[in-house]
Structure 1
Amino acid sequence: MITLRSLKKLSSQNAAAIILFLAAILAAVVANSSLAPIYQSFLSQELHLRVGDFNLLSHGGHNLTMIEFINDCLMTVFFLAVGLEIKRELLVGELSSFRKAILPFIAACGGMIFPVIVYSFLVASGTPETQGMAIPMATDIAFSLGVLSLLGNRVPLSLKIFLTAFAVVDDIGGILVIAIFYSAEVAYGYLIAAAVLYAFLYYMGKRGVTQKIFFLFFGLIIWYLFLQSGIHSTISGVILAFVIPARPRLNAGKYIRRIRSIIGTFPVMQSDNIVLTNEQIATLKQVERASDRVISPLQSLEDNLHGTVNFVILPLFAFANAGVVFSGGGDVVGNVAIAVGLGLLLGKFMGIYLFTWLSIKSGLVRMPEGMNWKNIAGVSLLGGIGFTVSLFIANLSFVGAYPELLNQAKFGVLCGTVVAGILGYIVLFRVLPKK
């Protein structure tokens, strides 16, 4: 049954995907227009947040530029939201048991291995181009689910769950790749200090501390420590998610009893005056406090971050990173562009579909109800929508030393994502039941 809440969620998801896509288009238009110098100047602008001689927005003695602030600071908030989603899925979602997780886990493994194989076949070994092998590994959850939602209630629930689950596993893979392969020389002193703070937050969570501002304050300190450590700072957001408590301070049964007790004492005034009395306001504030305590910090923070991440951070990230330059030095359609595009389009499709086929045909898992080989093919194509994390890894792979390769990688991500999304939609539109 489709509820008003589900329709609002669906509308919000589609709106976020549309805004993200428009931001990417705007970036490409601006980067190739007379506004390009202003665009580049904006991205290279240094930022300062000083207390005396201490600048929070600095790394290794250098102030962060705008694009570094977006990619190293704001994207940490995005990865915090991803970490919260992963933790929820591991605790109570589609990855909470072996039976639920095994099929999307296997599919995601195929979807990460085959794009790397396709990429490696298309670039020369031993060249700087090989640094981008991980770019086509990721699936963008927001975009892929946005395309799937265009088909409405024709999509079986099991197919939505399958796509969501293997995209979450993809995120885990992408996070591990960033942590392992895109870290500079490690300063262990900063990491030890961050580990001590994580242990402190975990302990305080176990002791019943649930205030989100408490965890976010220390999370900011941990982010700065990671920024100085050589491990990419966005990893701090993912780890922070796993020390934020997932249990509320007040269980549902106690909450209901407390609300009934509070409502029973609510001072009802026989008056048409719309202004509440002080006693009424105090009583309603008790209800508000009780309601806050029955929602876990994990769920509450995930809900709070949803709008900021989808409607502010990700569009700003797309605008800063999707500016493909079609003129100037270098060929935009080079080896990296082709390798990334085909890695997303063919590699993701072959990996997801083949590994799913092998796991079901071998008897390891059963075909989920509502799914068949035709709609699995369509969803496997949607797995090639890589956008956000792919652009992020492209920036880590080539920024600074290889601007031409970065430009090619951006073009490959955009082309691969768009073609995979269109083909996936066409296949699912044709194979899903009309009613």
Structure 2
Amino acid sequence: MTQHLHTIERFIKDESFSGVLLFVATIAAVMVANSALSESYFELWNMALGVTLGGHTISMNLMHWINDGLMALFFLMVGLEIKRELLIGELSSVKKATFPIVAAIGGMVIPALVYIAFNTTDPKGFGIPMATDIAFALGILMLFGKKVNPALKLFLVALAVVDDLGAVIVVATVYTSEIHAEYFIHAGLVYALIWILNLKKVTMLMPYLLLGIALWIFIHSIGVHATIAGVLLAFAIPISSKVDEQDFIKNTKESVDEFEKHIDTIPILNHHQIDALEDIAYNYDKVQNPLVKLEHQLHGFSAFFIMPLFAFSNAGVILDFSAVSQNFFIVVGVVLGLVVGKPIGIVGFTYLAQKLRIVKKPDDLGWDEVIAVGFLGGIGFTMSIFITQLAFLDQSVIDAVKLGIFFASFIAGAIGVILILKAYSKRNKLI
């Protein structure tokens, strides 16, 4: 339990700083896109890059390598988080999971319906307001330090994990290009091999990652968005370690005793001590949970490289508001979906479910704080931009929607901040 709390604390801390980096990368992208460097900026992301493996060639521009390749690693991390939360975290029991699950479902369904209400003839962008940007939302929470109820942070993390799972399902089932069914067999065989490693209790990560690359190639070839390979791989990464904690303690103590027993006057380690250190290193590696180890390794890379790079490459939009007027109902659907649909969905579904005795709100979480989380959930940003790139091909539509996402995320975040401060003030008066 203590280890899980430390994982949550580290997750929140990393995500909060990642939110600051995302904000900086976004501002930089918009500034560069509207400066004298604009042409060079867009040419850079359209630069073609290709990789050939045997007779199989994959060629995409730089932006697609970021959105399909690097983002697959981001989705691998998301999948690992989802699996961990389902097995040992805030979603590991029915009692813990029902409230954030109901909140997340409401926070996906209502925004999608709001969007569809404004775009009944062409609703393909419905997935855009369904997403929540956990990095930005937690970044805002962390700015207020101890003014934020810890239960509110846990609720937001659990809700965002379910929200991410919903986004993964939408991307996998809705936003796909032409399907090439012949590659399903290849992908299926590779994925079966990955699960065989799991069932054989292989804890070394390298075989999983190498097969994961092959899985990415074949899923990309099928036409399903290749980032889904990351999630599929995550679900197959084992959580059990090779050596249990008690054996690790026993073996490590024996190795330390062996190391101490052979201390001598020579200022270098002797072979007995080197053997003892190697035994400690071996047990250190084997006691770690593969899933948690990989998640930890990916988290910094994702938070401080992949997501800022994604934001810098995708958030660059020329500030031409004529595109917004030309795509008015699409933009309105996205803005109202995030600013209105998210809080109504999150609060409405949980309130109704509690009245029907389907769920029970945590005692240490007030309804005013649930409403605050509802608005913070309206910060779609990176995930919304990601789905926008999949939903539309017309660059003018994409640019207009991005402006709508920026506006909606700012408004939703500002309202969320005001409500958090009000909730803090109310709690202090009650103490």
* TM-score > 0.5, shorter chain as reference: yes
Q: Which amino acid aligns with 1:90?
A: L
Correspondence for 1:410: 402
Q: Is the 8 A contact 1:336 1:412 kept in 2?
A: no
Provide TM-score, normalisation by structure 1: 0.91
Task: Return closer, same or farther for 1:228/1:117 CA change in 2, 3 Å cut-off.
Answer: same
Correspondence for 1:99: 95
2:26 is matched with which residue: 24, 27, 30? 24
1:113 is matched with which residue: 109, 113, 133? 109
Correspondence for 2:411: 419
Provide TM-score, normalisation by structure 2: 0.92
Correspondence for 1:428: 420
Confirm whether residue 387 of structure 1 aligns to residue 381 of structure 2: yes
Please state how far the C-alpha of 1:5 moved relative to its aligned partner.
8.9
1:350 is matched with which residue: 332, 344, 349? 344
Measure, in 2, the Cα distance between the counterparts of 1:244 and 1:5.
Answer: 18
Which shifted more, 329-338 or 360-369? 329-338
Measure, in 2, the Cα distance between the counterparts of 1:111 and 1:382.
Answer: 11
Q: Is the 8 A contact 1:110 1:351 kept in 2?
A: yes
Q: Which amino acid aligns with 1:384?
A: G
Q: Is the 8 A contact 1:329 1:404 kept in 2?
A: no
Task: Return closer, same or farther for 1:262/1:23 CA change in 2, 3 Å cut-off.
Answer: same
Q: Which amino acid aligns with 2:387?
A: I
Correspondence for 1:325: 318
Please state how far the C-alpha of 1:210 moved relative to its aligned partner.
1.2
The C-alpha deviation readout for 1:204-232, integer Å capped at 9, x for no partner, is 22212111111000100110001110111
Confirm whether residue 73 of structure 1 aligns to residue 69 of structure 2: yes
Confirm whether residue 207 of structure 1 aligns to residue 203 of structure 2: no
| Secondary structure of 1:64's aligned partner | strand
Which shifted more, 262-271 or 171-180? 262-271
1:398 is matched with which residue: 385, 392, 397? 392
The gaps in structure 2 that reach 5 residues or longer are none
Which shifted more, 295-304 or 416-425? 416-425
Which shifted more, 292-301 or 5-14? 5-14
The C-alpha deviation readout for 1:269-312, integer Å capped at 9, x for no partner, is 35594x54454333222212201111111111000000111111
Please state how far the C-alpha of 1:266 moved relative to its aligned partner.
0.6
The gaps in structure 1 that reach 5 residues or longer are none
Measure, in 1, the Cα distance between the counterparts of 2:15 and 2:174.
Answer: 31
Q: Tell me which protein shows more helix as a share of its residues.
A: 2
After TM superposition, the structure 1 = structure 2 runs for residues 209-228 of structure 1, keeping only pairs within 5 Å, are 209-228=202-221
Task: Return closer, same or farther for 1:161/1:51 CA change in 2, 3 Å cut-off.
Answer: closer
Q: Is the 8 A contact 2:248 2:284 kept in 1?
A: yes
Task: Return closer, same or farther for 1:376/1:329 CA change in 2, 3 Å cut-off.
Answer: closer
1:83 is matched with which residue: 79, 84, 87? 79
Measure, in 2, the Cα distance between the counterparts of 1:9 and 1:179.
Answer: 26
Measure, in 2, the Cα distance between the counterparts of 1:79 and 1:153.
Answer: 30
After TM superposition, the structure 1 = structure 2 runs for residues 37-56 of structure 1, keeping only pairs within 5 Å, are 37-50=39-52, 54-55=56-57
After TM superposition, the structure 1 = structure 2 runs for residues 34-433 of structure 1, keeping only pairs within 5 Å, are 34-50=36-52, 54-55=56-57, 58=58, 63-123=59-119, 125-127=120-122, 130-267=123-260, 268-271=262-265, 273=267, 276-327=269-320, 330-331=323-324, 334-399=328-393, 402-432=394-424, 433=427
Measure, in 1, the Cα distance between the counterparts of 2:162 and 2:227.
Answer: 17
Measure, in 2, the Cα distance between the counterparts of 1:316 and 1:293.
Answer: 34
Give the % identical residues: 38
| Secondary structure of 1:48's aligned partner | strand
The C-alpha deviation readout for 1:156-205, integer Å capped at 9, x for no partner, is 33222211111111111111111111112322221221111111111122
Measure, in 1, the Cα distance between the counterparts of 2:18 and 2:221.
Answer: 32
Measure, in 1, the Cα distance between the counterparts of 2:6 and 2:372.
Answer: 28
Task: Return closer, same or farther for 1:175/1:52 CA change in 2, 3 Å cut-off.
Answer: closer
Q: Which amino acid aligns with 1:117?
A: L
Q: Is the 8 A contact 2:258 2:272 kept in 1?
A: no
Q: Is the 8 A contact 2:30 2:318 kept in 1?
A: yes
Task: Return closer, same or farther for 1:329/1:39 CA change in 2, 3 Å cut-off.
Answer: farther
Measure, in 1, the Cα distance between the counterparts of 2:54 and 2:117.
Answer: 53
Task: Return closer, same or farther for 1:331/1:416 CA change in 2, 3 Å cut-off.
Answer: closer
Which shifted more, 261-270 or 299-308? 261-270
